[in-house]
Amino acid sequence: SLKFTIDGLKANVEGKEILKGVSLEIKGGEVHAVMGPNGTGKSTLASALMGHPKYEVTEGSVILNDEDVLDMAVDERARAGLFLAMQYPSEITGVTNADFLRSAINARRGEGNEISLIRFIRQMEAKMKDLEMNAEFMHRYLNEGFSGGEKKRNEILQMLLLEPKLCILDEIDSGLDIDALRIVAEGVNALRSEDRGFLIITHYQRLLNYIQPDFVHVMMQGRIVKSGGPELSQRLEAEGYDWIKEELGIED
């Protein structure tokens, strides 16, 4: 089983406080959606959890089961089972997708427990087939010249192969047409299990028709200001965020 607890997390980017005390608990089997206007710190939250060096945590705690995540280096977090499907995946020339994936899998499995080449290729081919990705993507340089939608599918491919404990998806739906969205959502849903949790950042209710969340949280100005069930995302879709601002007396 899984218990992931974020408590009072504050983080700075270039000296400016962006996260102003985020608290959230994710248990095994749960899908949590985080919604909110642009620039409210959603991607910052994802980056801070992953240990990105630009995002300086100043207060709070992050605990994965009994382990202190904030004490871990970036690679230790990945090994512990944290994964981020990025909003803007980077292109890496000179490293093929297959090479990258194999090193990522081996980093997660640890020394002495590396995956065999044949087994890796078999798994990669199977998951690419599930995601309806052309086999040529195996040998292309990582994300280089990939369309927006192809990058997103490739992030999900990584997730399917790494089988993380906590999957963070940052706007995985942006740039996806409706067929790609369904395929990506099926990939996510296939991974749902009692020993895994999901944090899904999105602007749009549409994704949540395919990946049904257990909880929906609204983030504004670096805080989670409201939490509820799926009905909350439906209301946001219909009415926007103004009613929450009014309810809470938040100024723009």
Rule CB under 5 A: which residues touch Mg ion?
Answer: 38, 42-43, 87
Amino acid code (one letter) for 177: D
Contacts with ligand ADP in 7-26 (CB under 6 A)?
13-14, 18
Site string for ligand ADP, 142-171 (x = CB under 6 A): ------------------------------
User: Is 41 among the residues that bind ligand ADP (CB under 6 A)?
Assistant: yes
Q: Where are the alpha helices (DSSP H) in the chain?
A: 42-50, 74-80, 97-109, 117-130, 148-162, 178-191, 205-210, 230-239, 242-248
Q: How many residues bind ligand ADP (CB under 6 A)?
A: 12
> Residue 55's beta-bridge partner residues?
13
Closest CA to 228 of 249, 243, 214: 214
Residues 115/155, Cβ–Cβ less than 8 Å: no
Q: What's the min distance (Å) between Cβ of 123 and ligand ADP?
A: 32
Ramachandran assignment for 81, one of left (phi > 0), alpha (psi -120 to 50 degrees), beta (any other): left
User: Is 38 among the residues that bind ligand ADP (CB under 6 A)?
Assistant: yes
Distances (CA, A) of 240 to 87, 220, 224: 22, 13, 16
Parallel, antiparallel, or unpaired for β 215-220 and 197-201?
A: unpaired
Q: Which helix (H) or strand (E) holds 29?
A: none
Binder to ligand ADP among 1, 3, 8, 54 (CB under 6 A)? 54
User: Is 202 among the residues that bind ligand ADP (CB under 6 A)?
Assistant: no
Nearer to Mg ion, 38 or 113 (CB): 38
User: Is 111 among the residues that bind ligand ADP (CB under 6 A)?
Assistant: no
From the list Mg ion, ligand ADP, none, which binds 54 (C-beta under 5 to 8 Å, kind-based)?
ligand ADP
> What gap in Å lies between CA 10 and CA 15, rounded to an integer?
12
Q: What's the min distance (Å) between Cβ of 52 and ligand ADP?
A: 8
Binder to ligand ADP among 10, 11, 35, 43 (CB under 6 A)? 43
Q: What's the min distance (Å) between Cβ of 100 and ligand ADP?
A: 23
Residue numbers of the site for ligand ADP (CB under 6 A)? 13-14, 18, 36, 38-44, 54
